[in-house]
Amino acid sequence: MGALLTLDGVEAGYGAMQVLKGVSIEVQEGEIVALIGANGAGKTTTLNVISNVVPVRAGRVRWREELSSGGSIVDTVRRGIIHVPEGRRLFADMTVLENLEMGAFLRHDPPGVRSDIERMFALFPRLQERQEQRAGSLSGGEQQMLAIARGLMAHPRLLLLDEPSLGLAPIISQQIFRTVRELNQTQGVTVLIVEQNAHAALGLAHRAYVMETGCITMSGPAAELRDDPRVKAAYLGE
Ligand SMILES: Nc1ncnc2c1ncn2[C@@H]1O[C@H](COP(=O)(O)OP(=O)(O)OP(=O)(O)O)[C@@H](O)[C@H]1O
Ligand SMILES: [Mg+2]
């Protein structure tokens, strides 16, 4: 069976600056794949290329073996690719509940949407308590929960998570990571996660890629990378 998502020699950048210099990544259905690397390596750019926010200059992005680069952001949402960006980008003036409803904007099954909102509240009880609160006034951890829950409202085939633990207390990060694992195990959601917290990411993922200045320099089962001396020295602080 072919991969769900394939990046093949992808080059991309901004203006005169080339950021991705031939990136090849594969994500199989049902996997959690982590992408780790230093600040500015090109991790967010990679996710932006996958969701058609940043155009591909060379190489290919394929979704279920079909070319997917060149389309629009809505095309990727229709395919089931949901991007939870760095910095969360919630609708700050809308309530928690309205944000969840916005996550389902392409769906036309109000009863299904309603029951999914209940499911999100069961997953994140904090959000239920605060459903009428403006998203912009939630704490950082609550905003991250809402960003993930809003993404899940679209029934993703592939969830792209950019730094979900950024700025969160360790206990909240752990809760977010646990939820991601649960969603993967119980609902088969495939996940590509970008994380500064390499330790947590390698603990969560099945496989991982290491990116350095726009190139993939290492890849393999997450458990193997966690034991690699170069990864330990550069990303795990060991
Ligand atoms: N919109 C943009 N315009 C110009 N340059 C950009 C833009 N977005 C990112 N860059 C540059 O591209 C490079 C890669 O950025 P990117 O955001 O992909 O890195 P990253 O690996 O996600 O880093 P971090 O871990 O800090 O989030 C950086 O040098 C950044 O300054
Ligand atoms: Mg980034």
Q: Which residues of 20-36 are buried (b: 16+ CB within 10 A; e: fewer)?
A: bbebebbbeeebbbbbb
Q: What confidence score (pLDDT) does residue 1 get?
A: 61
CB distance 127 to 121 below 8 Å: yes
| Per-residue pLDDT at 163 | 92
Q: What are the structural domain ranges in the chain?
A: 1-80+180-238, 86-155
Distance from residue 141's CA to the centre of ligand 1 (Å): 23
| CA separation for the pair 166, 160 (Å, rounded) | 15
What ligand is nearest to the CA atom of residue 39?
A: 1
Residues in contact with ligand 1 by the CB-under-6-Å rule are 14, 17, 19, 37, 39-45, 196
CA 14 – ligand 1 centroid, Å? 9
Q: Which atom of ligand 1 is nearest to the CA of 194?
A: 22
Closest ligand (CA of 36): 1
Nearest CA to ligand 1 atom 2: 14
Does residue 127 come out as left (phi exceeding 0), alpha (psi in the -120 to 50 range) or beta? alpha
Question: How far apart are the C-alpha atoms of 109 and 125, rounded to whole Å?
Answer: 24
CB 117 within 8 A of CB 123: no
What whole-number distance in Å separates Cα of residue 74 and Cα of residue 174?
A: 31
Atom of ligand 1 nearest to the CA of 45: 18
What is the CATH number assigned to the segment(s) 1-80+180-238?
A: 3.40.50.300
Between the CA of residue 177 and those of 27, 37, 99, 201, what are the distances in Å?
19, 18, 22, 8
Q: What is the pTM of this model?
A: 0.93
Question: What distance separates the 2 farthest-apart alpha carbons in the chain?
Answer: 51
Tokens of 48: 């932006």
Per-residue pLDDT for the chain (238 aa), expressed as one digit of tens each? 679 999 999 999 999 999 999 999 999 999 999 999 999 999 999 999 999 999 999 999 999 988 877 788 888 888 899 999 887 789 999 999 999 999 998 888 999 999 999 989 988 899 999 999 999 999 988 898 899 899 989 889 999 999 988 878 888 888 889 889 988 998 899 999 999 889 999 999 999 999 999 999 999 999 999 999 999 999 888 7
CA angle 71–28–230, rounded 5-degree value: 105
pLDDT at 19: 98
Residue of minimum CA distance from atom 18 in ligand 1: 42
Query: Could you give the strand order of the β-sheet that contains 158-162, starting from the edge strand earlier in sequence?
Result: 81-84, 158-162, 190-194, 32-37, 207-212, 215-221
Question: Which is nearest to 69 in space by CA: 78, 60, 77?
Answer: 60
